Amino acid sequence: MQERHDIDLVGKIGSMALIRPDDHDIDYNTLSRICTELRPGMIWVTSGATEIGRLDHLKRAGYELPEGEESKADYAAQGQAILMANYRQFLRPEYGLRQVLVEHQHFNDPEKREHIRRLLLRAAGQGAVPVVNYNDPVSDEENRKMELAHLRRRTDAEVHECVDNDETAAVIAELVRARTLVILTSTEGIYLDAKDPSTLVREVLADTPWALQEKVRELQTHCHGASRAGANGAYAKLAYALGPAMQGTRVHIAHARHRLEDLLSGRVPHTVIGMG
């Protein structure tokens, strides 16, 4: 298990946690609150570009684009600029903001992976906060699946897709030896029964990586469904969290309404996964 941590915190927020669905707009309160807590030594992985782009296009043009991969790319390209403008607006002015757009190939190629690792680590010492997102506008699902299948035939190593930002955050947490990984979502954490709030699982802790793996695998048997179409839900969040947790990163899965300091201090209910 790792003992040295190069980055204090990697955090991730999901699309639905950044949106006020009834108002068809960004949840500016949530975004501004997060930004007040970000500082150098943290890496933030953000979803939201596609949904924000969809809402912006609807607001400006008065109609939605046809369903399909091309429209998702168009929405993401439009939403990315809005998303980053808001992060820059709300981030403390003394900190630099560095946008890092990634694709699956960046984490499946050793040289590109190392390039990203160094870029993220340099930011901590240069007074900047990296904000990471998957580069949806240049990603075509069919081509991506073909590339990933080809990679899997060529190597025995784990192949990362990273189109789900939960996976992106987990991969980055492992890459930079993060002390903490926070996954913010639209629920309080992981439940034994998603329809019963009293079944929230507060801790999944073990003394060895293998014991932790067994506990997480058992918990996954209780996970069904997702917060939106296309999302992988609690089952996938647990799968992605397991890798960094087994290497010594403490993982927090929690509702986006909570402040980071309240999560890390244990003052609010959520799910914690880790060693010890």
- pTM of the complete model: 0.87
The residues spanned by each domain of the chain are 7-275
CA distances from 84 to 33, 54, 88 (A): 15, 16, 6
- Does the pLDDT value for residue 58 go beyond 50? yes
**Predicted confidence (pLDDT) per residue in 159-179, tens digit:** 554 457 888 999 999 999 999
Instruction: Write phi, then psi, for 258 (nearest 5 degrees).
Output: -90, 145
Amino acid at 175: L
**Helices 69-90/28-37 angle, 10° precision:** 60
Res. 144: pLDDT tops 90: no
Please answer whether residues 1 and 207 qualify as being in contact, where contact means their C-beta atoms are separated by less than 8 angstroms: no
Output 164 or 259, whichever has higher pLDDT. 259
- Residues forming a β-bridge with 178: 7
- Please report the pLDDT score of residue 276 as a whole number: 82
Q: In what order do the strands lie in the sheet with 128-134?
A: 96-102, 128-134, 42-46, 7-13, 178-185, 250-255, 271-275, 203-206
CATH number of 7-275: 3.40.1160.10
Each residue of 12-48: pLDDT tens digit?
998 888 999 889 899 999 999 999 999 999 999 999 9
In angstroms and rounded to an integer, the radius of gyration of the C-alpha atoms of the chain is: 18
